[in-house]
Structure 1
């Protein structure tokens, strides 16, 4: 089966962005590239690939509109089933007090060995999202994302994060993410917190003109399914990108960007 409507809309958005990028100077036009290297790719409380990963990113901006591509690739062949290549778009509206609202979508695609091709319907999961970022006086970030394609539960994920006081130039932040209801995708039998964490970051200064941001995060998936087969260290899950209930992670990473 060929591309679904969601994939066609996604490709149309990217095509428009590429046309704009070659159409000449546009107010607010920007482009950025970079990559993260992480000891584990943990997303919303689930470890994807059980290995170190490299995560390249490309972003194009046109005023309030941003489109981009983001990927995660395991350095271990055993984790290649969790390889990910996403395309996304967001539109942000800024308020006069410094806060902002964003609306967007992400197309999740997992091109691991033996995976379906890009234009196959079942190869894509589409998420629609909305977010709010508070002003400097109250810099809370709120996010809501609902799966709308290839997720029978139409899973709803909610997240809040807020920075806390810095200690000796180390920036700290707290995050709480939950799934609102039963979801096979996230492995929940009802509403559950799947992403509780604290992150610390600091720039590692290499030269006067170059520094590498370094981050360490402690993440807890506090989801505890009632079925005993999911409890304890012998629970089974898909180590490529299956749910990770009742599990904690300590993740190190650094970012590179010109």
Structure 2
């Protein structure tokens, strides 16, 4: 991957919406919302500063479509727009996400060497006490392996939710299974990943603040460690 693309990928604020565990509802359901985050950290990668991140989704009988975006307060922060189409039934989910970064080629550029889109497939299962997910990039501006070929960069995670002290918690461990220039870059190194690397260990807590009898404000805090880059972050968010 060219160095220009590497810098853009390090700066990009990519995000995968939480995997939905859907039942086959009989009517169309839709929702919109937004989050304000103190930093944007994605799968252990430090990708942005204070940002507003709107989202919208629509679902019907387990099939769902969502849009997500991010816009930082700094003019140099990456503008991003993602679309995800997925299907969920009981604990099983599968989806495809089109990530687009606004600091490169225009939206309608899909050429193999001239695109700011990245396409990722996901498959997972939520066992209630444990959720397992696998993600693989299959097209677009992916990273490369040590031979300079498309790496089909992948990431898998295991998340365990629990309740403690009146809060909702989630503990997650995520790893990169093979070498790719897409994850865990540091400094000017062409490669941060040399094979299997644990890149995300996080502990998140969520609390709902009652504002009025009809309105509540969810807030969350997350401690994140990336053993591969020796990075650590503490992030705060508000769900509007």
Which category describes the TM-score, using the shorter chain as reference length?
A: 0.7 to 0.9
Q: Where does structure 1 lack aligned partners over 5 or more consecutive residues?
A: 1-25, 95-99, 224-244
Task: Write out the 4+ residue segments of structure 1 that deviate beyond 3 Å after TM superposition.
Answer: none
SS at match of 1:48: strand
The answer for the alignment partner of 1:116 in structure 2 is: 105
Q: Check if 1:90 corresponds to 2:86.
A: yes
Q: Check if 1:175 corresponds to 2:175.
A: no
SS at match of 2:211: strand
* CA distance in structure 1 between the aligned counterparts of 2:153 and 2:202, rounded to whole angstroms: 21
SS at match of 1:153: coil
User: Once the 2 structures are TM-superposed, how far is the Cα of residue 78 of structure 1 from its aligned partner?
Assistant: 2.8
User: Once the 2 structures are TM-superposed, how far is the Cα of residue 186 of structure 1 from its aligned partner?
Assistant: 0.4
SS at match of 2:152: coil
Q: Where does structure 2 lack aligned partners over 5 or more consecutive residues?
A: 1-24, 143-149, 185-192
SS at match of 1:182: coil
Q: Check if 1:205 corresponds to 2:213.
A: no
Q: Check if 1:106 corresponds to 2:97.
A: yes
User: Once the 2 structures are TM-superposed, how far is the Cα of residue 164 of structure 1 from its aligned partner?
Assistant: 2.7
SS at match of 2:76: helix
**If each structure's strand is expressed as a fraction of its own residues, which one has the higher value?**
2
SS at match of 1:78: coil
* CA distance in structure 1 between the aligned counterparts of 2:238 and 2:41, rounded to whole angstroms: 14
**If each structure's helix is expressed as a fraction of its own residues, which one has the higher value?**
1
Whose relative contact order is higher, 1 or 2, with alpha carbons under 8 Å and at least 6 apart?
1
Aligned residues: 196
The answer for the alignment partner of 2:17 in structure 1 is: none
User: Once the 2 structures are TM-superposed, how far is the Cα of residue 125 of structure 1 from its aligned partner?
Assistant: 0.5
* CA distance in structure 2 between the aligned counterparts of 1:83 and 1:153, rounded to whole angstroms: 25
| Aligned pair partner of 2:136 in 136, 142, 146 | 146
Structure 1, residues 31-87: CA drift from partner, whole Å, max 9, x if none? 1000010001110011222x10000001011111000110111111132xx221100
Larger Rg: 1
* CA distance in structure 2 between the aligned counterparts of 1:216 and 1:83, rounded to whole angstroms: 23
User: Once the 2 structures are TM-superposed, how far is the Cα of residue 173 of structure 1 from its aligned partner?
Assistant: 1.4
Superposition RMSD in Å: 1.3
1:13-162 mapped onto 2 (5 Å cutoff)? 27-49=26-48, 51-79=49-77, 82-94=78-90, 100-112=91-103, 115-121=104-110, 122-135=115-128, 139-150=129-140, 151=142, 152-162=150-160
* CA distance in structure 2 between the aligned counterparts of 1:28 and 1:178, rounded to whole angstroms: 37
